[in-house]
Amino acid sequence: MDSVLTQVFLPIALGIVMLGLGLGLTVADFKRIVVFPKAVLIALGCQVMLLPAVCFGLVLAFDLPPALAVGMMLLAASPGGTTANLYSHLFGGNVALNVTLTAVNSVLAVFTLPVVVNLSLDRFVGEGAIGLQFDKVLQVFAIVLIPVALGMAIRSRSRAFADRMYRPVRILSMVVLVAVIAGAIINERENIASYFAVAGLAALSFNVISLAVGYLAPRLANVGRAEALAAAMEIGIHNGTLAIVIATTLLRNTEMAVPAAVYSVIMFFTAAGFGYLARPRAAAGTQIASDKTVA
């Protein structure tokens, strides 16, 4: 279920991509988010409060076994993964917002994740507790912030070089996605059918609802499409690896890791389809024109 692909190569590859994304960011991007905090507050509210409630409702509606129920709640409590930043970049989302949300979510998860998991264990299993898993959460924090900070530092010293790197980074992003999807399918080809049979519909429902809520909630509050798309990716793409590690190491229950494993496969496809449909058309056209100018 868990492999070298997700534990080693994916974090390294995404770290490189995040370095490239940092080349296109400036301090002004983050200042604008601080000045207009609506998108941040809405996204965090959905992530921390609304999604666990939605997931709890789905768990009851699908009448999942106790271990799978806890696994679903563990997934809902996990912060957005670094892949959300990559998808946002590919489909025209506000990457600076994604970086901010991922960073803040990673910090909040240190406190909220144990609470949600403990309540879920009490509700569905009857007992058990989990401590604050600082190191796993900080890994996500580091993979995002350190490469982005380096990229921003490079851009501050050489804007021309950073601009030239845009197209190579975009190509690298696509290669990483294809490699991860193919690797996940090949590595789990013998288990995918059984995983999906047990938790597939619940995971798919939660994924689609997460993406929809992440996009529609900001849009209903008159937040821009690029920011809403960024929020959707952050909320819809959970850190499945973190959930799997907690289930298999801290909770010592591989069945609890099944929902996260299934979700991690589904989200690659649903997020790509959602990103294509929801991408800001005007921004995409402007970016293409910019690419031609750079070329």
Q: Which pLDDT score, from 0 to 100, does residue 181 have?
A: 56
Report if residue 60 sits inside a domain. Answer: yes
Report if residue 91 sits inside a domain. Answer: yes
Domain harbouring 184, CATH code: 1.20.1530.20
Most confident of 113-122, 163-172, 179-188: 113-122
Nearest to 134 by CA among 113, 120, 115, 149: 113
Report if residue 146 sits inside a domain. Answer: yes
Q: Which pLDDT score, from 0 to 100, does residue 62 have?
A: 92
Q: What is the mean pLDDT of residues 184-193?
A: 66
Contact between 236 and 274 (Cβ < 8 Å)? yes
Q: Is the pLDDT of residue 23 over 60?
A: yes
Nearest to 133 by CA among 59, 242, 211, 44: 242
Prediction pTM value: 0.71
Range of weakest confidence among 36-50, 127-141, 240-254 = 127-141
Q: Which pLDDT score, from 0 to 100, does residue 193 have?
A: 77
Report if residue 192 sits inside a domain. Answer: yes
Q: Which pLDDT score, from 0 to 100, does residue 140 have?
A: 53
Question: 108 versus 188: which is more confidently predicted?
Answer: 108
Report if residue 288 sits inside a domain. Answer: no
Most confident of 119-133, 169-183, 239-253: 239-253
Contact between 24 and 290 (Cβ < 8 Å)? no
Q: Which pLDDT score, from 0 to 100, does residue 79 have?
A: 81
Q: Which domain holds residue 223?
A: 4-280
Q: Which pLDDT score, from 0 to 100, does residue 284 have?
A: 45
Q: Is the pLDDT of residue 138 over 70?
A: no
Report if residue 289 sits inside a domain. Answer: no
Report if residue 294 sits inside a domain. Answer: no
**Mean pLDDT taken over the chain:** 77
Q: Which pLDDT score, from 0 to 100, does residue 286 have?
A: 42
Q: Is the pLDDT of residue 137 over 80?
A: no
Extract long-range pairs of 63-69: CB within 8 Å, 24+ residues apart. Answer: 64/199, 64/202, 65/255, 66/124, 66/125, 67/125, 67/253, 67/255, 67/256, 68/198, 68/199, 68/202, 68/255, 68/256, 68/258, 68/259, 69/120, 69/123, 69/124
Question: 3 versus 17: which is more confidently predicted?
Answer: 17
Report if residue 292 sits inside a domain. Answer: no
Q: Which amino acid type is present at position 58?
A: L
Range of weakest confidence among 182-196, 208-222, 228-242 = 182-196
Q: What is the pLDDT of residues 99-125, one digit of tens each?
A: 788 777 777 777 788 888 888 888 898
Q: What is the mean pLDDT of residues 55-70?
A: 92
Range of weakest confidence among 89-98, 202-211, 237-246, 253-262 = 237-246
Query: How many domains is the chain built from?
Result: 1
Q: What is the mean pLDDT of residues 78-103?
A: 82
